[in-house]
Structure formats: structure tokens, C-alpha cells
Structure 1
Amino acid sequence: MDELKDAVKRKMSFAQTMRAVLWSFIGLRKGAEHERDMTRLNPVHVVIAGVIAAAVFIAVLIVIVRMVVSQAAG
């Protein structure tokens, strides 16, 4: 339980966490950066950033599909 409390108190900002999550989505993370971030990222921020990034990704896909379908129908 103490490990979880310590993890939540980590110092990286939400913006830095979002950047790390977005790079991870793309798959362009260096091994050294990944290892360094794992000791500094707040796990709560990682979960929130992951959900936000996934929602934005799905929304972009929906917009692209709607544009393509409307072009094909019209």
C-alpha cells in the first residue's frame, strides 16, 4: 500500500505524462526514456492520459470515416 502512495506522489506534471503516453501510442519511445519515466510517472496521470488519448483517437477515426462515407455518397 505504501508503494501505491509513493507512486501517486511522483513529480512529473500531467503535461509530461500526456507526452509520454502519446509517444507510447505511436510506439516511438526510447528504452532509456521509458525506464526513466517509469520511476517518475504518476500512475493516476497515466490512466487519465491514456483514456483521453484513446477517446481523441476514436473521435478522429469517426470523423475520418464520416468524411469518407459522405464523399462517396455525394
Structure 2
Amino acid sequence: MSAPGKASLLQTVKAVAWSFVGIRKRSGFEDDLAKISPLHVIAVGLVAVLLIVVGLVILVNWVVAK
């Protein structure tokens, strides 16, 4: 487990994924606020959005090509 005040990359990814879904317990949210750096959340969020957009473009191209 990571040291107090520091979150791992996996914890940051989980927090961003939960925020995309919109479901999160208050205690989990408060833990995230205490551990995760806003810069890390922004970076992981941008990568996640990029992956979603690229995935959608690939899916649409695949469906249209059929």
C-alpha cells in the first residue's frame, strides 16, 4: 500500500473512472481528495478522454466500413 498522502497511478485511474461514471461513495471521494494530486487527475483524465475519442472513431469507422 502507498504512503499516506500519496496515491498510486491505479488509484488515480480508478478515481477518474468513477468520476466518468458518476457513482462514488462520499468516503471514497474524501480519500481521493486527501491523496490524489489535481495535476495527476487532469493528466489521467485527458488520457482517458483521448482513449475514449479514439475508440469511438475506430468503432464508427469499423461500423461504416461494413
The secondary structure found in structure 1 opposite 2:24 is: coil
- TM-score for both structures, normalised by structure 1: 0.74
1:14 paired residue number: 9
Identical pairs, percent? 37
Q: Show structure 1 runs of 5+ residues with no match.
A: 1-9
The residue correspondences of 1:1-74 to structure 2 (distance < 5 A) are: 10-71=5-66
Q: What stretches of structure 2 of length at least 5 have no aligned partner?
A: none
Runs in 1 of length 4+ with deviation above 6 angstroms?
A: none
**Count of residue pairs brought into register by the alignment:** 62
1:66 and 1:30 map into 2 onto residues whose CA distance is 37
TM-score, with structure 2 as normaliser: 0.82
What letter matches 2:37 in structure 1? N
Q: Which amino acid aligns with 1:32?
A: S
Q: Which has the larger radius of gyration?
A: 1
User: What is the CA RMSD across the aligned residues, in angstroms?
Assistant: 1.2
